[in-house]
Amino acid sequence: MANTLKFGNGQWATGNGTALAYNDENANFKPLPFDFTRASSGTTVNQSGLIETVGSGIPRIDFQGNTKGALLLEPQRTNLIAVSTDFSQASLTNGTVTTNNAISPDGTLDADTFICNTVSATGQFVTSGTTGLSYTSSIYVKRKTGNSQVSLRGINNISTPIDVTNQWKRFTITQTSDNGTLRCGVLLSAIGDEVYVWGGQTEQSSYATSYIPTSGSAVTRVADACSQTVPDGVIGQTEGTLFVDVDANVNFLDGARAIALGDGTFANRILLNCSSVGTFEIYVITGGSVSYTVVTDVSFNQDNKVALAYKSNDLAFYANGVLKASTSSVSIPSCSNLYIGTPEEAFSAPSNNRYSQVQLYNTRLSNAELAALTQV
């Protein structure tokens, strides 16, 4: 069951505009670089559990909840809060702020303390948006003193109770703006209660993406893209197998790529997509004609090991050790490119996934091998 390309699985080599595949057979990195683009910096969680900023064009390997790390690919987003780490710039009611009072999730002394001076105190960043659009606000909160209820202050002045502990945790709330005024903050309910706050973010989206630091104005993180034109023999032209270990996020547009093969055109592709209703979608397109399409049920917002094996008139899709779809009638296109979470056409939806491992085989693995490969 030898593979022709392996990417990830705890072995990462990244550089400006590139990430390398790893070869288990001879324990080194293959000269099969993936082209990577992101025309801005971005943040990720490093091996020490701290948020760090990665420069423009550098792939982000994220270790949040994953000791082996995962390639983080996200769509473009803008943090509308102008000064994300200075809570003294927030709108304060019955509360006061002490700045630079604690070590923040990025390991520096730039987290603030917010204290309740009367029965109820509110601190919230206020920004402007568009009425009727969906926005997600998020903020990191950690308890300092007291044990009364703390609430997350949302976009439409709605407060939701949150479970604040003595560890940093990011809390998020998504709402449709009713008047164009956007809010992000906390509500304390008892005199003398104190919490640490850091990293406010409000983005026009139905879900939260990685933290985007700001220091005076809104900041945009550009979308990630990762693909490769591979040498002959790596992609099986008449048969092969795609495997991906991915933490797929259900909160994105239909058609977001998980992984795909293609020739750079719309006419010839083998696609494994994610949908906003929490399923994987399989498409095989040959000469512009869809010869096979199916939607399969898989649990999202968790780690999934999935494999798609293809051969002329023989296709099988396994997820987490279970056969989910198969057909004995399918035409296989000729492909030269491998796309990881990356749309190959302008109208395709961007990914919002974490990729722990990708493998490519130039043979159609047996069903028993597929079950073993995807077993969780």
135 and 201 fall within a common domain: yes
How buried is residue 37: exposed, middle or buried, by Cβ count under 10 Å (0-12/13-18/19+)?
A: middle
Whether residues 350 and 238 share a domain: the answer is: yes
Confidence (pLDDT) at 117 = 96
Among 174, 189, 221, identify where a domain stops: 221
For the record, the structure tokens of 254 come out as 């239909």
This prediction's pTM: 0.85
Same structural domain, 24 and 165? no
Mean pLDDT of 205-223: 94
- Same domain membership, residue 99 and residue 18: no
Which residue segment(s) compose the domain that 234 sits in? 5-75+223-373
Mean pLDDT, rounded, of the chain: 89
Which range among 9-18, 137-146, 242-251, 344-353 has the greatest average pLDDT? Answer: 137-146
pLDDT digit string, tens, across residues 88-104: 999 999 999 999 999 99
Alpha carbon distance 176, 136 (integer Å): 9
- Report whether 86 contacts 80 (CB < 8 A): no
Q: How far apart are CA 376 and CA 369, in angstroms?
A: 14
Closest CA to 316 of 342, 288, 292: 292
Are residues 169 and 237 both part of a single domain? no
Which strands sit side by side in the sheet containing 134-145, from one edge to the other?
Answer: 95-103, 109-116, 194-203, 134-145, 169-176
- Residue 346: its pLDDT value, please? 44
SS3 317: strand
Domain boundary among 221, 253, 274: 221
Structure confidence at residue 50 (pLDDT): 97
Are 211 and 333 within one domain?
no
Structural domains of the chain, count: 2
Q: What pLDDT band is residue 33 in, cutting at 50, 70 and 90? A: confident
Q: Is residue 134 part of a domain?
A: yes
In a shared domain, residues 203 and 135: yes
Residues 137 and 253 in one domain: no
**Among residues of the chain, what percentage have pLDDT more than 90?**
59
The reply to whether 80 falls in a domain is no
Return the sign of the alpha-carbon dihedral for residues 41, 353, 270, 20: positive
Q: What is the pLDDT of residue 347?
A: 42
Q: Are residues 165 and 289 in the same domain?
A: no
Token look-up 């490969």 returns 373
Residues forming beta bridges with residue 115, ordered by sequence position: 96, 194
State whether 334 and 280 are in the same domain: yes
Cα–Cα distance, 320 to 323 (Å, whole number): 9
Is there a domain that residue 81 lies in? no
Tokens of 51: 């948020």
Number of Cβ atoms within 10 Å of the Cβ of 346? 5
62 forms bridges with which residues in the sheet? 70
Residue 82 included in any domain:
no
Q: Is there a domain that residue 160 lies in?
A: yes
Structural domain contains residue 328:
yes
233 and 151 in a common domain: no
Burial of 7 by CB count in 10 Å (0-12 exposed, 13-18 middle, 19+ buried)? buried
Q: What is the pLDDT at residue 16?
A: 84
Tell me the CA distances in angstroms from 264 to 50, 261, 335, one per residue in order.
38, 9, 8
Domain with residue 137: its CATH number is 2.60.120.260
147 inside domain: yes
Residues 207 and 325 in one domain: no
Domain end point (choices 195, 221, 247): 221
For 199-209, what is each residue's pLDDT tens digit? 999 999 888 99
